[in-house]
Amino acid sequence: MTNALSVRGLVKRFGTKTAVDGLSFEVAAGEVLGFLGPNGAGKSTTMKMICGFLTPTAGTAVICGHDVLEDPIAAKRALGYLPEGAPAYPDMTTIGFLEFIAGIRGYGGAERRERVVAAMAKTRLEEVTHQPIETLSKGFKRRVGLAQALLHEPPVLILDEPTDGLDPNQKFEVRKLIREMATDKAIVISTHILEEVDAVCSRAMIIARGRVLADDTPDGLRSLAPSRNLDDVFRAVTTQDEAALEAAHA
C-alpha cells in the first residue's frame, strides 16, 4: 500500500500550552484510521494542521506527495475535509451550497451538476435539495458537510466526527459509505464513539495531551485490556498516561 498521508513531527503550541506534541504517523490508501482521545487530546488541532487551517509550530504533513506548507494548493486538491460542526452558509439551499463548493473546486457546466448530484445521492440529501441549510436538522447539516468533502473524489479524507448528530439509520448509511470509499482512499476519522471503530476502522490510534499512546488494529488494541472491550482499553491507556504524567512531576 502507498502512504497517501504522512504526518511528520507535528507540534502546535498556543502560548505556553502544547496542544500537539510531536505527532508522527502515516495512513495508506485503503486504510481507515480511527483517531481517538479524550476532549482536549489534540485531535481536532491535528486535523486542522493536516488540512492547512492551522500553521504548525513545527513539523508538517504530506498529502499524496504534496507538503501542506510548501505546496498547499496541490495538497488541498487531494484532500476532502469535514470539520467539526460542518460550517456552511445558512441562507444557501443544499444544492446551492454544493454547487458553490463545486465551482470553487474548479468544476463548471455539466460536470459541476453531475458531481453535485452524485455527492447528494451518496449522502442521501435528495429530500432537502432546495431547503435552506439554516432550516435543516443537525443530522442533515452534517450530511451536507460530508457531501462537500466528497465532491471532488479526493484520495485522502479527514473526517471530524462524521456521524455526530445522525440518527441510527443515518449512522448506518454513513458508515456503509465510508467502508465503500475505503477501498481506494486513505481516511482518518476522529470519533468518540468506540463502536464506530469496530464498524469502519482498520486501525485505531489513541492520543492524549497531543501524544500517541497506542496505535494498532482494533483487535490489537483489545489485547491491552483483559476484557478485550474497547471502552476498557481506552480507559486503561489514558489512565496510564495520567499516572505517568503524575510520576514525572512527583
- The full set of domain ranges for the chain reads 3-78+154-248, 86-153
Residue type, 229: N
Is the pLDDT assigned to residue 242 strictly greater than 70?
Answer: no
Q: Which of 49-58, 165-174, 229-238 has the lowest mean pLDDT?
A: 229-238
For residue 57, the 8-state DSSP code is: S
Name which of 119, 115, 141 is nearest 128 in CA terms: 141
What is the per-residue pLDDT for 2?
64
Integer Cα distance of 3 and 60 in angstroms: 15
pTM score, whole prediction: 0.89
Query: In the chain, where does DSSP find H-type helix?
Result: 43-50, 72-77, 94-104, 109-122, 138-150, 168-181, 194-200, 218-222, 230-248
11 vs 168, more confident: 11
Integer Cα distance of 234 and 213 in angstroms: 10
CATH superfamily of 3-78+154-248: P-loop containing nucleotide triphosphate hydrolases (3.40.50.300)
| pLDDT, mean over the chain | 90
201 vs 39, more confident: 201
Grid cell listed for 155: 484520495
Integer Cα distance of 155 and 123 in angstroms: 18
